[in-house]
Amino acid sequence: MQSLERDYKHYYYIIREGISLKNYEERYLPIPVEYKRGKPKEHDADVLQLCAQAMCLEEMLVCTVKKGYLYYGESKRRVMIEFDLELRQKVSTTFERMHQLYNKRHTPKVKVSKACKACSLSEVCLPKLNKKISVTEYMEKNLGGGMQ
């Protein structure tokens, strides 16, 4: 028997706990594990990232993902994260804010920090460059035109 559940703004069907895999009879619970090189951070970016991944998995696999893990290379420990309603709402609110910024075509200035040195996005984020010129100026200078 399937039921329609509401989880904040996301609707999904729960048929049975877990998902089926091709050529396997049993059902499995997806549990995301995010590997980080460093140690747990003071802000909640890692937790929000993991919860967003879980919400994507739920939509993709039509299941419920209740928890996940953050594994930190420095401490060689993993931290269990429960995806409660409060955390899910924070992810949704963050995405809403991102969409608002995108619709306004506004790219906020980044705050350069020591985390940028080890960030895997530094090659595309270019935080130091962002301090010098605007995105429009960068596009005009390097691509020969402004943003569409």
Residues that contact ligand SF4, how many (by CB under 6 A): 8
Which of 14, 48, 116, 135 binds ligand SF4 (CB under 6 A)? It is 116
CA dist 41 and 18 (Å) reads 31
Tokens of 123: 């090659």
CB of residue 120 to ligand SF4, shortest distance in Å: 8
* Phi and psi torsions of 76, nearest 5°: 50, 40
Q: Which is nearer to ligand SF4, 46 or 140 (CB)?
A: 46
Q: Is 119 in the site for ligand SF4 (CB under 6 A)?
A: yes
Q: Is 48 in the site for ligand SF4 (CB under 6 A)?
A: no
Strand partners, 5: 12
Q: Is 110 in the site for ligand SF4 (CB under 6 A)?
A: yes
Which of 96, 82, 81, 88 shows the shortest CA–CA distance to 10?
88
Q: Is 21 in the site for ligand SF4 (CB under 6 A)?
A: no
Tokens of 139: 């596009």
Q: Which is nearer to ligand SF4, 21 or 45 (CB)?
A: 45
Residues 6 or more apart whose Cβ sits within 8 Å of residue 57:
30, 32, 63, 65
Q: Is 45 in the site for ligand SF4 (CB under 6 A)?
A: no
Tokens of 131: 């301090």
Which residues lie near ligand SF4 (CB under 6 A)?
110, 115-116, 119, 121-122, 125, 127
